[in-house]
Chains A and B, each alone.
Chain A
Amino acid sequence: GAVVSQHPSRVICKSGTSVKIECRSLDFQATTMFWYRQFPKQSLMLMATSNEGSKATYEQGVEKDKFLINHASLTLSTLTVTSAHPEDSSFYICSGISGGGRTDTQYFGPGTRLTVL
């Protein structure tokens, strides 16, 4: 299957700092990328959907000014957690699809574990 990478895989930061997470599709062009968040022992929750060159669409309850998403190219999307707080500590996973049809497979990155002290 297609490969999606995320960087960094793990980050620990102080409260109030901003953290940028990169998501890259390595062998396909991701017209759409999704960002998920997963708290311990909970399911993946979709945070936002981004299409290349467009503004991201955020799910209800996700603050767009706090979680900045940029999808400037077909192979790169970034999520910036601004002014991170301990409650933002979570596992952040991106995924990408090419096309956008009903049968397109969604490929997941390996995730980024964020710990805010």
Chain B
Amino acid sequence: RKEVEQDPGPFNVPEGATVAFNCTYSNSASQSFFWYRQDCRKEPKLLMSVYSSGNEDGRFTAQLNRASQYISLLIRDSKLSDSATYLCVVRGGAGNMLTFGGGTRLMVKP
């Protein structure tokens, strides 16, 4: 079983749609949680951290459920520029490393 699992997609949605991504992690000792965005042939860039209380940044809302070891990302009013791969990332365990999920690809169409 992978440490961080995501549906690879792709999710094809029209502009303006709301789309949700999910992620599960296996290490219950994980301490920090993030969503990163990676464009094709580029490095990953931090989108937002994820907290149990839920956090929102503009059109993006992230949620963490520690009991279920489940992380979500909601994107409202999708833009063409949101097309990218979204990586669920978990920090914790020995060495406090970042562990990346396989990513979920989003394609927003006009």
- The chain A residues found within 8 Å of chain B, CB to CB, are 1, 34, 41-46, 49, 57, 91, 93, 100, 102-103, 105-106, 108-111, 113
Contacts and interface: CB of A to CB of B under 8 A. Distances in A.
B16 interface: no
Interface residues of B, number: 20
Contact of A44 (B45, B96, B100): B100
A93 B36 CA distance: 14
B20 interface: no
Which of B91, B98, B99, B101 has the largest count of A CB atoms less than 10 A from its CB? B98
Nearest to A42: B102
Given A49-B95, A102-B91, A109 B43 contact: yes
Contacts of A111: 41-43
Contact of A91 (B8, B41, B100): B41
